[in-house]
Structure 1
Amino acid sequence: MKTTRTALLRRARAAAFAFLAAACYLPASGYAADNLESFYGGRNVNLTIGYSVGGGYDTYARLLGKYIGNYLPGKPTITPQSMPGAGSLKAVNYLYSVAPKDGTTFGTFGRTMPEEPLLGDANFDARKLTWLGSITSDVSLCITWNTSQIKTFQDLVNKESRMGGQGAGSDPDVMASTIKTLFNSKLKIVTGYPGSNETALAMERGEIDGECGVSWSTIQVRHPDWIRDRKINILVQVALEKHPDLPNVPLLIDLAPNDETRQVLKVIVASQAFARPFAAPPGLPPERAAALRSAFAQTMKDPAFLAEAKRLGLEVRPVPPERIDQLLDELYKTPPALLAKAKAAVGGRF
């Protein structure tokens, strides 16, 4: 009897250990999914937008916000929050240092921000952000209003002009400073506008001649009449490659006076590949970072999202987070001498 009782106890212990092992290892992914659903279910997830309402970044962000919650476990409510300031540097600093690192906050900011620690005065490491991806790659332009005397890129170089800016490190300030420094342009930057909407109004009112660093996609979405009625002069494209819609507008790199300038420009305009970037704070729990990335990727394929983007005239050419990580790794390995020249080119903080 004793032997039988001992054997039964041993079998019971073995069965208990087997059950615990199965619970720990076999359905681990199921438990993770349950935990994510209980975490996100009924929550508000904040979508921080580094620009004022109505501009290109804001339009892309609010469109994403309508759909991405459907692909997060528990389908949380996505709450857009505008946080303009210093060309969206305020939003990046918030995401990097202040926002909760628990998967309840992500955001968008200017495409030049990932390079701002290298080319400007920002104090963060863009490689440490939890990158979700970019909705598209893009081409920035220098434009002027039709009544301005600045009609061509050579006019921008040779004649005095006033170009709008949004703060150190923002697209307009970086691109205008680059042209001013590398091409000895006579342009003057009038900075401090909260976003592209305000810059556009200033240009239409004649307060400034135009703006560098405005996206072709923003013009298509927010100001189709500018194109239809020829209200603007498109001076130059600031990107690594021309946009197919603008074959006759020169590429800034092609206008470089020498190879060194061309190499410096490549470092600066690499940011165009980030275009409409989205990132969460550093140090997220891995399963929540994976959930946000998966939700972003699935949204990029959502038929309703794509249909609404098309209706709004928004380009969707997704850039995955792996590509952003790769580009940042390459940029952070740029030789110091070349980086110093690029930094000097964008360092005219007016």
Structure 2
Amino acid sequence: MIDRTAASRVSTAVLSSVLVAGLAGAGAASANAQSAEAFYKGKQITFIIPSGEGGGYDAYSRLLTRHLDRHIPGKPRIIAQNMPGASGLRGTNWLYVVAPKDGRTMGATYNTLITEPLLGNTAAQFDPNKFEWIGSMAPQYNACMVWHTSPVKTIEDVKTREVKVSTTGMSGNSAKTPLMVNMLLGTKFKVIAGYKTTGMRLAVERGEVDGICGLSYDTYVAANPEWLKDKKIRFILQAGMKKVKELPDTPLLIDFVKDEKQKQALQVLSVRDDLGRPYLFPPGVPKYLVTAARAAFNETMKDPKFLADAKRMKIEPDPMTGDAMAAAIRKAYGAPKDIVAIAAKLWPPAVPKKKKKK
């Protein structure tokens, strides 16, 4: 027989311990918020954007900085600062190596840089597992497009003719994506580098290049909505693991790939797509400030004023929490070595330029 009196005593004890733990957790959260409020009150946060003005990273980051301050305890003023260079590496390295670690500096990074240390890029002077991830505003699934006047109608056409695509630098995703597609599908994309963030899109309008392969659909939504409205561009391939809802008829790269290990390598690389618009603290920031910033980010994503501003910009937030980001990165960095090696061939790390001897 079951001793119901004893069971009742056990249940009561368990319930009491749960309540105590819950109250302790709530008390800790309250203490964190109060400590963060005392720290941030009257202070300023510098928010580093590792791209030039006018691009997708800039648009998303400035949208966030306009609203995040209302939800950080103490309501510090947030100042956005662009730090472009080396396809996001300059700003990201600075955030890891140089930036103050007192909670008064945060920033964005390019999602494609998250796997660079894994793939062997020695110019990436950071360990993604040591950044304090705050959150991501939305995933970012890259696509290849051509201008509406181009004779190229499908990705198959790129196998039979050279198609010029613009990029800022050879280490960025708008350079590496077309080169990866060339390796996997035998296409003939020719990458033209050296443009500024806005200049690479102007090059398409001017006819200097045929298109761009490696920017996300939402970048065009934020930076060139008139191109979409007036049907100025034609999407011919999507490089992510799943289709953007606005491009249901544009094929996925992985659907053309037959080799199973190459598919697994693409899945390792896809962590960057899911983390799309990532925001972070440098490593070493006090945990109570990280907790406060993560909570503030989550609250911002539900803020009616933020959502109205995002709607005005035609941006649809689909956030990921900082904890979920950290878990996804740990999983990617735990991939089998042979799969990582294939991923590194498909997405070769940049080779640092050698300094000329005097």
Deviation at 1:169, TM superposition (A): 3.9
Q: Mark the CA change 1:298 to 1:138 in structure 2 (over 3 Å): closer, same or farther.
A: same
Q: Give the 3-state SS of the residue equivalent to 2:250 in structure 1.
A: coil
1:147 and 2:179 are equivalent in the alignment: no
Q: Deviations over 1:136-166 (max 9, x none)?
A: 1132110111233333211223321221123
Q: Tell me which moved more, 303-312 or 171-180.
A: 171-180
The answer for the alignment partner of 1:170 in structure 2 is 172
Length-normalised TM-score, structure 1: 0.87
Gaps of 5+ in 1: 1-25
Q: Mark the CA change 1:208 to 1:68 in structure 2 (over 3 Å): closer, same or farther.
A: same
Identity value in percent: 37
1-structure distance, mates of 2:108, 2:29: 30
Q: Give, as a single letter, the amino acid of the residue that structure 1 aligns with 2:60.
A: Y
Deviation at 1:168, TM superposition (A): 4.3
Deviation at 1:27, TM superposition (A): 7.8
The answer for the alignment partner of 2:309 in structure 1 is 308
Query: Contact 2:146–2:234 (CA<8 Å) still a contact in 1?
Result: yes
Query: Contact 1:96–1:129 (CA<8 Å) still a contact in 2?
Result: yes
Question: Which structure 2 residues correspond to residues 55-70 of structure 1 after superposition, within 5 A?
Answer: 55-70=55-70
Query: Contact 1:110–1:171 (CA<8 Å) still a contact in 2?
Result: no
Q: Give, as a single letter, the amino acid of the residue that structure 1 aligns with 2:70.
A: N
The answer for the alignment partner of 1:183 in structure 2 is 185
Q: Deviations over 1:270-325 (max 9, x none)?
A: 31101111011011111111111111111111111011101210010101112211
1-structure distance, mates of 2:309, 2:176: 31
Query: Contact 1:85–1:194 (CA<8 Å) still a contact in 2?
Result: no
Question: Which structure 2 residues correspond to residues 65-76 of structure 1 after superposition, within 5 A?
Answer: 65-76=65-76
When Rg is computed on C-alpha atoms for both structures, the one with the higher figure is 1
2-structure distance, mates of 1:274, 1:147: 33
Deviation at 1:349, TM superposition (A): 5.2
The answer for the alignment partner of 2:98 in structure 1 is 98
Q: Give the 3-state SS of the residue equivalent to 2:102 in structure 1.
A: coil
Q: Deviations over 1:255-282 (max 9, x none)?
A: 1133233222222233110111101101
Query: Contact 2:97–2:125 (CA<8 Å) still a contact in 1?
Result: no
2-structure distance, mates of 1:221, 1:109: 17
2-structure distance, mates of 1:264, 1:71: 39
Q: Tell me which moved more, 131-140 or 154-163.
A: 154-163
The answer for the alignment partner of 2:263 in structure 1 is 262
Q: Give, as a single letter, the amino acid of the residue that structure 2 aligns with 1:132.
A: I
Question: Which structure 2 residues correspond to residues 1-350 of structure 1 after superposition, within 5 A?
Answer: 32-121=32-121, 122-195=124-197, 197-347=198-348
Query: Contact 2:96–2:283 (CA<8 Å) still a contact in 1?
Result: yes
Gaps of 5+ in 2: 1-25, 352-358
Q: Give the 3-state SS of the residue equivalent to 1:127 in structure 2.
A: coil
Deviation at 1:214, TM superposition (A): 1.1
The answer for the alignment partner of 1:17 in structure 2 is none
How many residues were matched structurally?
Answer: 324
Deviation at 1:42, TM superposition (A): 1.5
Deviation at 1:170, TM superposition (A): 2.2
Query: Contact 1:134–1:318 (CA<8 Å) still a contact in 2?
Result: yes
Q: Give, as a single letter, the amino acid of the residue that structure 1 aligns with 2:223.
A: R
Deviation at 1:120, TM superposition (A): 4.8
Length-normalised TM-score, structure 2: 0.85
